[in-house]
Amino acid sequence: MDVILFGATGMVGQGVLRECLLDPGVGRVLSIGRTPSGAPAPSPAPQKLRQLIRPNLFDYSDIESDLTGYDACFFTLGVSSAGMSEADYRRITNDLTLAAATTLAKLNPNMTFVYVSGEGTDSTEKGRTMWARVKGATENALMRLPFRGAYMFRPGFIQPMHGAVSKTRSYRVFYKIFGPVIPLLRRIAPRWVTTTEQIGRAMLRVARDGAPSQILNTAAINRL
């Protein structure tokens, strides 16, 4: 299986990249982003990672030949909505995601596309919470594209594993303070807590075998 990964510099993306590199069933990983991942490859490091760095993630017309022949896309790219207008957040969250997805659906109709949104995403697109409406609209648009399969991951609380670090400063502070109690939280509230490792493994499982539902919450992710 050959995989395209967006967002390898983020906390979830770092975890997904690690699992892809460790999985013997993954032949190639193409990481696409504005900056190199910088994450250390697991040891022994399979020589199957290619990083494609480009400042413009809204247009792929010049590199379509580089994007063909892939079986799965794991889209973990995202930003916090804090301090953003709805228009700006929609451009980064919805427009950017669909620019990539529509291109990939055209080039790889047998591809499985896996998108990370979050617990509380609003599928009706009519709720009061801005980020949830925008994420819901993005999910709905992705599920209408002609992929072999499109799956929406809605994790709740995520525990970073194996050195994965959030790019958001407030999240880094939170994890530093509350990190020691996360294993206890996983035991007492397993339906609401997952890890970067579990998300990565679940994505690979979905890409290979599909899943019972297109929308997968934390409990479903952990079962996979």
Average pLDDT of span 144-153: 98
Domain boundaries, the chain: 2-223
Return the structure tokens found at 221. Answer: 């992710």
DSSP state of 112: E
Chain centre to alpha carbon of residue 123: 18
SS3 of residue 139 by DSSP: helix
The CA distance from 54 to 36, in Å, is 10
Q: What is the pLDDT of residue 14?
A: 94
Q: What percent of the chain has pLDDT over 70?
A: 84
Question: Mean of the per-residue pLDDT values for the chain?
Answer: 90
Q: What is the pLDDT of residue 101?
A: 98
The CA distance from 125 to 143, in Å, is 14
Q: What is the pLDDT of residue 162?
A: 75
pLDDT band at 134 (very low <50, low <70, confident <90, very high): very high
Contacts of 102 by beta carbon, 8 Å cutoff, 6+ apart? 145
Average pLDDT of span 135-140: 98
Task: Check whether 150 has a pLDDT greater than 70.
Answer: yes
Contacts of 118 by beta carbon, 8 Å cutoff, 6+ apart? 131, 135, 154, 155, 156
Q: What is the pLDDT of residue 82?
A: 86
Tell me yes or no: is domain 2-223 CATH 3.40.50.720.
yes
The CA distance from 105 to 224, in Å, is 25
Average pLDDT of span 110-117: 98
Residue located via tokens 């390898």: 8
Average pLDDT of span 179-206: 82
Average pLDDT of span 110-120: 97
Task: Check whether 177 has a pLDDT greater than 70.
Answer: no
pLDDT band at 157 (very low <50, low <70, confident <90, very high): confident
pLDDT band at 159 (very low <50, low <70, confident <90, very high): confident
Q: What single string gives the DSSP state of each residue in 55-96?
A: S--S--TTSGGGG-S-SEEEE------TT--HHHHHIIIIIH
Task: Check whether 121 has a pLDDT greater than 60.
Answer: yes
Task: Check whether 137 has a pLDDT greater than 90.
Answer: yes
pLDDT band at 176 (very low <50, low <70, confident <90, very high): low
